[in-house]
Amino acid sequence: MNIHKIMLLVLSLFLLPGCGPVKVGPAAQKIVILGFDGLDYDYVKKWMGQGRLPNMRRLAEQGSFNELRTTNPAESPVAWASFITGTNPGKTGIYDFLKRDLETYYPKFAVNSSTEAKFVLGKWIPVKRPKAILNRKGEAFWDIAARAGVPVRALRMPVCFPAKAENGVKLLCGLGVPDIRGTMGTFSYYATDVWADEDTEMGGKVVGIEFFDGAAETVAFGPLESTLPIYFKRLPEQDALIISVGEREVRLTSGSWSEMVEFEFKVAPLVKVKGIGRFHLMALAPETRLYLSPISFDPRDPPFDISYPRKWSRQLAQENGLFKTLGWGIDTWAYNEGRISSEIFLDDVYYTMNRRADIVMKELEKREWQMMLSVFEASDRVQHMFYRYLDPRHPLYNDAEARKNRNAILEVYQRADEIVGSVMGALDGNTMLLVMSDHGFNSFRRAVNLNTYLAMQGYLQLKSATGANDRTLHDLFGQGEFWPNVDWPGSKAYALGLGQIYVNLKGREKYGLVEPGEEYERLLDELRISLLRLRDPQSGERVILSVTRGSEIYHGPCTDGMPDLVVGFAPGYRVSWQTCLGGMPKGVVVDNDRRWSGDHCSVDPEHTKGTLLCNRALFIEDAGIMDLAPTVLKYLGLEVPANMDGKPLL
């Protein structure tokens, strides 16, 4: 047989049905990873012990169960980036939800960015076709596996937008995908008892509507200041509202949800962007109140790569029906602002969670994978909003409401447990199942205005005695001045994001004051001592447990953007919303009077441990989230890259 015939024979083997490239490592070894955002180790341990999480308990009995160290800070984008790459934030470049601009001191989204638009004659005009950019550095461990011939399915993966992967990977992005307006979730609330249109603190749209002869007109809000007409017809005798959007007509009765409604916004003469969202009719009469969820990109025709290959999101929609693509897919903002009830919020939680579970199960059944990953965020969102019912010390704790809602967190954990059970039932004995979370949770009773504190201590100088109160998300990313009252040439330090402190360093910041070297080092020590002395004036409790230099915990090629100091608050405390939004209200430590009553961001990571469960025996003493990527690669028989900071747990 000559060489040409041999080559044809080899080629034919790869083209035969069911044949493919030879996989590295034992071909029968498969792995499924289920991530549940915010699944707290202490609660999992407690409820497993009470028999309330039977599938997780069974998984622990088969293999391993322990706490999982998170990153510092214990923030979702930071932790998920380290999970994906097996490296510390000094190599991923993700230190917070926000990062600063050294020229303007303005904040920007840390996870991703896009090409700019110009504000001309009262309108946003694209400079060129918008392009999304992923700011996370480092290689995903599933790409390493895919190059070795491992087929991968990764659903709702955080910190991956826009999607890009190796051949052999099918990836659907999660946290980081914006809504159609480019935000983390702009809801709309239409009501006849609203007298002036307004934006809420976290960016929601509150719109007044007025009916004439049973009809009303308003708009849906799209990208780049575009809008789309919405028409209402009220039928009180039928307890019904007819909603017309484009060519679609939806009929709702009080208390009901619509199916997904399609929106098409014209943002330029030849450019249209398609989205989807759901309406909920809260009340028809005597006042009409209607909620519209944040509008997601239509997965069948997204303007950005929300999946890899790009057509995979369309295929998933064709097979499973329309689904939310927004990374922050559960609307905590509308509930936090008091525009929707707990019942409406939880309806949407389980609608979203169940739709995603259905997609996961269908992909599992296809058997087209050797590695499967999926992340669910509902456990995080429910804990953010309902933690006050577990904490009698919280300012919003109420006995009657607690009796009604205290099981909300347990129930979302139980739904997660049911998903674990369904997946266990679909796997064979040769498949490793790993269940994990990115961090744990704590009560958020009291908010700390870090910039107010820095101003009172003389580190942040103001142009006048008046602070900046009641800042909104529009101030954060709008056209206004973010720092409206700061004297930068006279300021030594400032806080930005969720517990990060930066020195106004000469040669780095535009108006830097502090000299590098001895003065910089002395200031860091001074700030650390000062912050650790902070006590709650109400209780005398210690507010801050740790203040760590960025240089002590981060290393790698991306340390130029790291914070100078990372503040770790005691359980019960968190940096205030106004600190994130650029405000400096009166008072350093104040009550948190928001429904957003549980948190992990800026809490000392020693008190924010995540969960690790596996049906295999792991060496899990002091296991951390960076250890999971090398563990998966080693399990599949692949070489662990030398730049990974984690260690295999096998």
pLDDT tens digits, 250-266: 999 999 999 999 999 99
Amino acid identity at 330: I
Q: Where are the domains of the chain?
A: 27-90+139-177+327-441+608-635, 188-296, 445-603
Written as six digits, the tokens of 589 are 């430590």
Q: What is the pLDDT of residue 15?
A: 29
Name the pairing type of β-strands 152-157 and 132-134: unpaired
Cis peptide before 286 (omega within 30 of 0): yes
User: For residue 267, is it left (φ>0), alpha (ψ between -120 and 50) or beta?
Assistant: alpha
The Cα–Cα gap between 139 and 158 comes to: 14
Give the whole-angstrom CA distance, residue 160 versus residue 307: 9
pLDDT of the residue at 16? 30
| Residue of 361, 330, 582, 568 lying closest to 451 (CA atoms) | 582
How many Cα neighbours within 13 Å face the side chain of 237? 1
Four-point Cα dihedral 562, 566, 572, 573, nearest 10:
-90
Pick out the chain residues at pLDDT < 70. 1-28, 115-130, 465-481
Q: Closest Cα partner for 191 from 293, 295, 283, 294?
A: 283
435: which strand partners?
34, 613
pLDDT at 115: 60
pTM of the predicted model over 0.75: yes
Say if residue 309 is preceded by a cis peptide, omega within 30 of 0.
yes
* Structure confidence at residue 470 (pLDDT): 60
What is the model's pLDDT at position 218?
97
Residue 567 backbone phi and psi in degrees, to 5: -95, 130
Give residue 485's pLDDT: 82
pLDDT of residue 338: 94
Left if phi > 0, otherwise alpha if psi is -120 to 50, otherwise beta: which for 555?
Answer: beta
Q: What is the pLDDT of residue 287?
A: 96
pLDDT at 580: 80
Write down the pLDDT at residue 27.
52
Distance of alpha carbon 262 from alpha carbon 276, whole angstroms = 5
- In CATH terms, the superfamily for domain 27-90+139-177+327-441+608-635 is Alkaline Phosphatase, subunit A (3.40.720.10)
What is the pLDDT, as a whole number, of residue 62?
95
Structure tokens at 457: 């201590």
pLDDT of residue 620: 79
Provide the 3-class DSSP secondary structure of residue 189: strand
